């Protein structure tokens, strides 16, 4: 007896203006034409009418819809499909697919062209054979906080990009100064350090009187350093000038201007991060039941907010291992026959934002929390390669256990109190 084909599988390739849908049966057979509809409310309503027509005509009993999470173009459509007033005859199972997963699947079909209709077919095929679980509807309790914490991640990425560009320009202007191991200042991007590199070339430092350099550093630091420290800084700076390459004079003005503008970007992003941190702290205060996480020494409210925003309801996860898997803090084995590789990389799947906040949290904990500092140091010594990265990720994995325990315990207490 032939298997009853009762599932309507739909793949949707989304974009700013239009969406393209492919319709497929359980056995992979395509039917009906590709359906193109605008990415707006009237377009979504027309899409629902098309689905209802197919459901009635072919007697489908299940509806599975896969959508690639391209930028945020999917947001309104997914929210609409998950709502109760769409008019759909069947309650859909909605699968939100990471673009990396779609690209990896595409590699199995090397001769396929890159078109919207082909992309929608790939998405439908992944839903059909991918052994996936449908995504939960966006949790509006946590969505506002999540928007803030994800925006903060983007600001941090922009800051890192600008700092890396600044370091390259600093190397051109004062090559030995960009060597962190030799720089007298603990932070190259500290206020005093940046004032110095913006206002002096190596030649100018070498030709400036020691007394004047001491006055400049004291003024820039607002007398933060002692006289002995300042004199030592000047001596170290003069040593660096003797080691530095001499920049071609024709490039000096260009490098100075671009460095100044890049450092302005650095200061701007730093100020933006400070502002968003205050907003996040205020938004996070609306979650009193989650505050115990921010009380962990070294974690604080901003990192705790980032973790909570991505986890949402802790009851979604059966165990801390499920939570670690969701964050992508799991390792792929590399084994063949009798061989098993020592270098086991992290999986590239999982929630990248949750992983980011857990790793950042682990980095703060190793510096401010004795228990985590001891654990990090032990893992650092045990690692054969990539000592810091491996130790930090393992510390983040340890943090997952604490996060799961605290949030689960608090959830259980709340449940009993009700």
Q: Where are the domains positioned within the chain?
A: 7-129, 145-280, 287-334+344-417
Nearest Cα to 355, choosing from 313, 404, 393?
A: 393
Q: CA 63 to CA 7: how far, in whole Å? A: 6
Q: CA 51 to CA 225: how far, in whole Å? A: 71
Q: Is the pLDDT of residue 13 over 50?
A: yes
Q: CA 93 to CA 339: how far, in whole Å? A: 41
Q: What is the mean pLDDT of residues 347-371?
A: 90
Q: What is the mean pLDDT of residues 254-275?
A: 97
Q: CA 314 to CA 406: how far, in whole Å? A: 10
Q: Which two tokens stand for residue 339?
A: 């061989």
Q: What is the mean pLDDT of residues 377-383?
A: 92
Q: How much is the pLDDT for 2?
A: 45
Q: CA 202 to CA 205: how far, in whole Å? A: 5
CATH of 7-129, one of 3.40.605.10, 3.10.450.50, 3.30.420.140, 3.50.4.10: 3.30.420.140
Distances (CA, A) of 220 to 177, 192, 204, 216: 18, 5, 17, 6
Distances (CA, A) of 305 to 30, 259, 311, 367, 385: 44, 34, 10, 20, 32
Q: CA 306 to CA 148: how far, in whole Å? A: 9
Q: Which two tokens stand for residue 259?
A: 């460095």
Query: At 416, is the pLDDT very low, low, confident or very high (cuts 50, 70, 90)?
Result: very low
Q: Tens digit of pLDDT for each residue in 43-72? A: 999 999 999 999 999 999 999 999 998 888
9-23, 67-81, 101-115, 355-369: range with lowest mean pLDDT: 101-115
The predicted model scores a pTM of 0.83
Q: What percent of the chain has pLDDT over 70?
A: 92
Q: Which two tokens stand for residue 173?
A: 């202007």
Nearest Cα to 48, choosing from 15, 14, 21?
A: 21
Q: Tens digit of pLDDT for each residue in 216-239? A: 999 998 888 888 889 999 999 999
Q: CA 124 to CA 97: how far, in whole Å? A: 10
Q: How much is the pLDDT for 4?
A: 52
Q: Residue 67: beta bridge partners?
A: 12, 96
Average pLDDT over the chain reads 89
Q: Tens digit of pLDDT for each residue in 180-227? A: 888 888 899 999 999 999 999 999 999 999 999 999 999 998 888 888
Q: Which two tokens stand for residue 84?
A: 């109760």
CB under 8 Å to 358, separation ≥6 — which residues?
307, 327, 329, 396, 399, 400, 403
Distances (CA, A) of 359 to 52, 87, 152, 307, 324: 46, 43, 15, 10, 12
234 in Cβ contact with 116 (< 8 Å): no
């Amino acid at each position: 007896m032939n298997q009853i084909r009762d599932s309507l599988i739909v793949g949707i390739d989304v974009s700013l203006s239009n969406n393209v849908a492919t319709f497929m049966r359980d056995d992979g057979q395509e039917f009906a034409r590709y359906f193109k509809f605008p990415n707006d409310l009237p377009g979504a309503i027309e899409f629902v009418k098309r689905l209802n027509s197919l459901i009635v005509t072919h007697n489908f009993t299940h509806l599975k819809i896969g959508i690639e999470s391209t930028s945020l173009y999917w947001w309104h459509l997914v929210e609409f499909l998950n709502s109760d007033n769409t008019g759909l005859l069947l309650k859909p199972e909605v699968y939100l697919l990471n673009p990396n997963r779609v690209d990896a699947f595409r590699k199995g079909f090397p001769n396929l062209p890159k078109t919207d209709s082909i992309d929608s077919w790939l998405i439908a095929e992944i839903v059909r054979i991918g052994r996936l679980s449908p995504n939960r509807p966006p949790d509006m309790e946590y969505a506002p906080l999540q928007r803030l914490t994800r925006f903060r991640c983007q600001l941090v990425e922009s800051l890192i990009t600008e700092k890396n560009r600044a370091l390259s320009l600093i190397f051109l202007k004062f090559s030995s100064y960009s060597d962190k191991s030799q720089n007298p200042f603990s932070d190259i991007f500290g206020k005093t350090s940046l004032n110095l590199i913006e206002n002096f070339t190596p030649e100018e430092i070498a030709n400036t009187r020691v007394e004047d350099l001491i006055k400049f550093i004291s003024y820039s630091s607002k007398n933060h350093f002692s006289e002995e420290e300042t004199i030592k800084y000047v001596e170290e700076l003069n040593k660096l000038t003797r080691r530095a390459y001499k920049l071609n004079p024709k490039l000096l003005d260009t490098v100075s201007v671009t460095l100044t503008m890049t450092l302005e970007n650095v200061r701007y992003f730093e100020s933006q991060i400070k502002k968003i941190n205050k907003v996040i702290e205020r938004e996070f205060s609306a979650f009193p039941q989650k505050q115990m996480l921010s009380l962990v020494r070294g974690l604080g409210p901003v990192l705790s907010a980032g973790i909570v925003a991505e986890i949402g309801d802790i009851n979604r996860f059966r165990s801390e291992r499920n939570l670690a898997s969701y964050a992508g803090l799991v390792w792929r084995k590399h084994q063949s026959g009798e061989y098993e590789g020592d270098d086991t990389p992290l999986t590239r799947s999982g929630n990248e934002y949750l992983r980011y906040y857990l790793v950042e949290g682990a980095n703060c904990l190793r510096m401010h929390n004795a228990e985590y500092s001891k654990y990090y140091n032990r893992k650092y010594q045990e690692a054969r390669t990539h000592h810091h990265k491996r130790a930090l990720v393992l510390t983040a994995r340890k943090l997952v256990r604490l996060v799961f325990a605290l949030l689960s315990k608090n959830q259980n207490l709340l449940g009993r109190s009700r």
